[in-house]
Amino acid sequence: MLKKISVILVSILIISTIAVGCKSESASDTQSTDTTQTTGSKVKDVTITIFQSKVEITEQLEKLAKEYSDMTDGVEVEVWGTTGDDYMTQLQTKLGAGQGPTILSAGVGTEAEDLSDYLYDLSNEEYVKYIAPGMEVRSKDGKLIGIPYGAEGFGFVYNKSLVDASKITDYDSFSNTLKELKESDVQAVSLTKEAYFLIAHILNVPFALQDDPEAFVEELTNGTKKMTGNPIFEEWAKFMEIIKSEGVNPLEINYDTQTGDFATGKTAMIHQGNWAYGMFDSYDIDFDMGILSMPVNGNDKISVGIPNSWGINASASEDEIKAALEFLDWLFTSEKGQSYIVDKFGFIPAMTNMKTDTLDPLGKEVAEYTASGKTLPWVFNIWPAGIVNNDFVPATQKFFSNEKMTGNEFLQELDKAWENATK
């Protein structure tokens, strides 16, 4: 008798284990059939999921989701956690398995294009008319697939008590300033070893200064043009030489050290963006700061772009999409939603219907550059996939660890890197 019972118990255990394994699939099945039946005018009992890549705003977003869930009747907003670094990998796996989120980070440029088949066309939404010009994320066939998170800008973040920005207008004045700073026992300028801070951002400048950056990228890929020999790139290379000789070795500096040294007045200029302001929270800063353009060829613009965008998964059920559209509409048009974007997430709005007076100093600076039209596009978004980490970083490491390497040799390395990434 006892044996029989134990056999039954064991079998139940096994069956339930197997059933748990299959559960998620069957659950989503029933859910989708349910929702297609109840498609009506009013959204009812729907769970929408948000999966996004910016770790910094996860907590705030969860609060927002809870608030929205409480406010609405029957719409549950769930936020999926991520570590950020491998966001695309995770998203790809989830979408491939048919278990994608409802609202996701659609990215921009190459990344958005990769995802575009999965994304819902947002062109008919009311609020898209507020998106600042040039900041819409569209696929090649013209679908509006992403609403920008916000704008971000980068250049040389400088300490106003150490550097007089009005004096820096071209290569000579830039290099003289660096030399003077170094003599006065201040670290003149620093990059850091993280891939985008090391090379992608700073290399964006000569790309953006080309007459037609998009065409230039294509010509690099099909081999009709090279960075070597291009006058703008050659001048940029001279800047890199002076940054190497007068600045600190970026390979020995990480983001924390760099921002820390800047906040304590040890470094006069760092190549960073407005996001770095969040790093200064724990310091008492007793100086004013601003953002300075990299004066390649007399350039006075800083690079402003959108880091990421919100998109909706087109393969989600109709009700889910509807609820997600309503959520985004609320986020971008209601006072509460907007205050989350500007105050809690700390984004510089890329939409014209939001106020910017509560931004931090660097954010204000970027907003000012944007208002006066002094912006360069983020060309690195349309570089070939993987090129920064796999090809540009090694080339740059070579440049900074070899004192004798000239800027021109560096350009040749970058050309080689481009060739390798597009072969």
Partner 1 sequence: MKKSKKKMWFAVFTLPTVFIFLTVVLIPFSMGIVYSFFEWDGMALHEKKFIGFSNYINMFSDERFISSIWITVKYTLIAALIINVLGLLFALLVTQKLKVRNTLRTMFFMPNLIGGLILGFIWQFIFMKVFEQIGSSTGLDNIFFNWILDEKFALFAIILVSTWQMAGYIMIIYITGIQSIPTELLEAAKVDGAGYFQRFKSIMFPLLTPAFTVSLFLSLSNSFKIYDVNLSLTGGGPYNSTEMFAMNVYNEIFSYKNFGYGQSKAVMFFFFVALITLVQVYLSKKREVEM
Under 8 Å between Cβ of 300 and 374: yes
- Name which position in 162, 279, 385, 405 contacts partner 1 (CB under 8 A): 385
Give yes or no for residue 200 binding partner 1 (CB under 8 A): no
Q: β-strands 103-105, 75-80: how paired?
A: unpaired
The stretch near partner 1 (CB under 8 A) out of 46-54, 151-159, 318-326, 389-397 is: 389-397
Task: Return d(Cα 171, Cα 385) in angstroms, integer.
Answer: 32
- Name which position in 265, 290, 361, 394 contacts partner 1 (CB under 8 A): 394
Under 8 Å between Cβ of 393 and 195: yes
Task: Return d(Cα 368, Cα 146) in angstroms, integer.
Answer: 24
Q: Which residues from 86-105 bind partner 1, rule CB under 8 A?
A: 86, 88-89, 92, 95-96
Q: Crossing angle for the helix pair 393-401 and 407-422, nearest 10 degrees?
A: 160
Cβ closer to partner 1: 116 or 299? Answer: 116
- Name which position in 29, 45, 117, 288 contacts partner 1 (CB under 8 A): 117
Handedness of CA 134, 107, 119, 310 (dihedral sign): negative
Under 8 Å between Cβ of 413 and 398: yes
- Name which position in 321, 393, 411, 414 contacts partner 1 (CB under 8 A): 393
Q: Is 109 left (phi over 0), alpha (psi -120 to 50) or beta?
A: left
User: Token digits for 192?
Assistant: 């850091």
DSSP 105: E
Cβ closer to partner 1: 162 or 421? Answer: 421
**Would you say how long the chain is, in residues?**
423
- Name which position in 23, 63, 398, 416 contacts partner 1 (CB under 8 A): 398
- Name which position in 51, 68, 118, 378 contacts partner 1 (CB under 8 A): 118
Cβ closer to partner 1: 338 or 396? Answer: 396
- Name which position in 62, 78, 114, 241 contacts partner 1 (CB under 8 A): 114
Residues that bind partner 1 (CB under 8 A): 7, 10-11, 14, 17-18, 21, 86, 88-89, 92, 95-96, 114-115, 117-118, 251-252, 385-386, 389-390, 393-395, 397-398, 401, 420-421
